[in-house]
Structure 1
């Protein structure tokens, strides 16, 4: 006899076994109540619990990305590689009575490739051989973007780009965490590039490698006739940049150009008031270097990377005939970082010749030591002399080193007083 038949027969006995009927009906109602509670929990309680899990995860990943953001700019100033964890995956815990959704994976990637440029920067040091006020394209830069994949929460994308880091909510609101492009008289421009696998999980990490970084800033001048101007690609809106830079007294004007339909990026142009500025420049790779990139060691050899040479020893050194003087030259790239492995060449002076006792290749600090040896000749008074040094086949890197050659007789300078 089936359960339905038993229930029907019991209900038609005219009350002769009401106790059995009550027990069976109670079981049926209890079972139905349990099913109803489970369904209600699945429909109402589970989204609330999942949203709470996602809020906790969002807090953790935001903290991770804030650490990563600080690390990118820290690595840019220390020239030290680092690894930093970013938890892009979220795991939903198992719960009684309800079914949790499967683990969710957000995407973590570099996007966009756009040029950053500086115009009107005139260095007040030997870097003026390169930073001479002309327009300089530093290279392409990308934006680091984390996009979560939640079941309940609206997606809030987190961005790290050359001049800022910020959150973009589902309704398009931009919440800025850092603005470092212009801070007083400090100008900071860190170019980002690289290839990411799209995800990392807790316990794994993102590698940050400085392709070009230096602790030293390049001091440059902005003038009324030729102002220092920055052109930076950005996904932040014009309105947000206007607000961020409104209280920076060094900012003389701001303009913004949309890239056009289909692009998320625009170009921010900032013109600075006359004065002296400290330029902090760097190129950092996040994840794996992009071998096809327009900047960095992956696409250039050491000789090509050198933007200018500087003289570490003082001009105007005097040398006795047949005497020697050590000349230390240092190679820098356009970011102001020393370049190792570059080969230099030279032209001898009129009264002496140059040699490279330790080789003509720059060391890990970008330095190469040369030796000027004055000729053993008779002179009619002190003679001004100079040598030129440059990177091999790179005339634009040439610098001149001046000497004065003097003749001595038994330790007495016989030149005119």
Structure 2
């Protein structure tokens, strides 16, 4: 009797079973090997993303602490894995952002060099409480991910055996000391995003000139990672150190001790910023302003303001050394008669609601002059008066400024902004020619010092500035691996470019879709939008036409 048909059926069944076994084995191998690798890549990518967001949080605390106001930053604490058919994922990873316990900040062996609305004993006679922030991820695969710390404006990653800086430390920058204290309890864990609000609670102070009292000034701050500060500041004085005039001298009980080099005048600014549940204190210990020095009966030499006409931010052809109208940040230069070189100079304003100064103390150059910059307060009123004083050698002078809020693009400006196209590490914006004739752009300037004094923009061998979509002639400027500083310096598009990279831009009468492309900044500037007033601007672009008229475009960080 024949059973060949039954044998074929059994063979098919065995084949199906083997096929299923192979399929399940493949799925098992995929689950064990591929899924963890993919999830690890997702976690690593998220870790890079959150590092950038924590740098934004650090910048927000720093900006609020030096300029006032408030900022909100979104931090993505965790991430999510993609859904998988027939396969499984572990629980989505989370992260925790928290403040530390309070620690003490102290300044010792220091005294004021100048007159202020408080004394050194009142300000520096006791320690100040502050907190630091840390972010810890809880990943399933990326198990050696670092803890990211924000300490006194310094952002860094702390691994088990090393630390890696994400930003420079701003605590000690040359002879400038910036101490932004953090107050408030914050502890949040999530796999999604959380908003962190930062707001000014006290200050910022006017810059305070400090000198040592005979012993070197020391600053004590709390830290969870002394090695990171050792690497950032250094342990020896000198230019090879991270901070030339400072060195780390000790660490004990969670406190880092930094010594400042003697025989050097330092400029201190302090503020307190709130996060989490922080509340505004009943008093403002950092409401400290400089008072003008009192002249003596017999001055050693005369001190006078120079006529500020022609300076950026000055919109008055009839300025004198006694009075002027200002529409934006204005450079003010004092002079000594007879010439007094290398001598100390003090500056002051009588109404800080109108504006402040970038420097409240300085030293004259060999020609007996020194310069400070008056910065209009964003909330200053049109027509508001303010007096700026300078004093040195027992003599003083005063210039009366009047605030003009018409400092933005007006009907007299033929090139008008239309929209911002792209921001971040570059700035692309569109403008139109509203005049009755074609114009040629010959010079340009970018001023981002309100954001950071060290911002530059460079594009390697390619053009840094491009003015295109014109109907007559597009313009380009480039310096071939030599970045432009974004400090307000004017550059001639052709003369200051290298090789054949420079070409003036000529816009036709009806050009209404011209784009200006500036690339790439050495730090992410975030979202920028056009504003109408220089007083509200964080970044200013100036285009100078062939007839010498300025076309200014103002941008504010969002």
Please state whether the residue corresponding to 1:66 is helix, strand or coil: helix
Equivalent residue for 2:146? 156
Q: Pick which of 84-93 and 131-140 moved more.
A: 131-140
Equivalent residue for 1:245? 233
Where relative contact order (Cα < 8 A, 6+ residues apart) is larger, the structure is: 1
Q: Which runs of 4+ in 1 moved over 4 A?
A: 13-16, 132-135, 200-203, 306-317, 328-331
Going by fraction, where is helix more abundant, 1 or 2? Answer: 1
CA–CA separation in structure 2 for the residues paired with 1:150 and 1:64: 18
**Distance verdict in 2 for CA 1:68–1:233, change over 3 Å:** same
Give the structure with higher Rg (CA).
1
- The CA deviation string for residues 128-158 of structure 1, in whole angstroms up to 9 with x for no partner, is 8412599533411111011001000023110
Please state whether the residue corresponding to 1:65 is helix, strand or coil: helix
Alignment of 1:55-94 (within 5 A): 55-94=44-83
Among 252, 262, 282, the residue aligned to 1:273: 262
CA–CA separation in structure 2 for the residues paired with 1:36 and 1:72: 53
Equivalent residue for 2:490? none
**Distance verdict in 2 for CA 1:34–1:235, change over 3 Å:** same
1:254 is aligned to 2:243: no
* TM-score (ref. length: structure 1): 0.63
Quote the offset at 1:159 in angstroms.
0.4
**Matched residue pairs, number?**
293
Equivalent residue for 1:411? none
**Distance verdict in 2 for CA 1:306–1:96, change over 3 Å:** closer
Structure 2 gaps, min length 5:
235-240, 298-348, 353-378, 381-558
* TM-score (ref. length: structure 2): 0.48
- The CA deviation string for residues 61-92 of structure 1, in whole angstroms up to 9 with x for no partner, is 11100111111111111111111000002111
**Distance verdict in 2 for CA 1:285–1:184, change over 3 Å:** same
Q: Report the RMSD for the aligned CA atoms in angstroms.
A: 3.1
- The CA deviation string for residues 292-348 of structure 1, in whole angstroms up to 9 with x for no partner, is xxxxx43xx33x84786765797899xxxxxxxxxx9999xxxxxxxxxxxxxxxxx
CA–CA separation in structure 1 for the residues paired with 2:18 and 2:190: 49
Equivalent residue for 2:173? 183
- The CA deviation string for residues 174-203 of structure 1, in whole angstroms up to 9 with x for no partner, is 112231222111112211121224136655
**Distance verdict in 2 for CA 1:111–1:134, change over 3 Å:** closer
Alignment of 1:176-255 (within 5 A): 176-177=165-166, 178-199=168-189, 202=192, 204-214=194-204, 216-222=206-212, 225-237=214-226, 239-246=227-234, 247=241, 248-251=243-246, 253-255=247-249
Equivalent residue for 1:165? 155
Whether the 8 Å contact between 1:158 and 1:168 is mirrored in structure 2 is yes
Please state whether the residue corresponding to 1:17 is helix, strand or coil: helix
Among 62, 84, 88, the residue aligned to 1:95: 84
**Distance verdict in 2 for CA 1:309–1:209, change over 3 Å:** closer
Whether the 8 Å contact between 1:130 and 1:308 is mirrored in structure 2 is no
Whether the 8 Å contact between 1:120 and 1:226 is mirrored in structure 2 is yes
**Distance verdict in 2 for CA 1:209–1:144, change over 3 Å:** same
CA–CA separation in structure 1 for the residues paired with 2:191 and 2:14: 52
Whether the 8 Å contact between 1:119 and 1:133 is mirrored in structure 2 is no
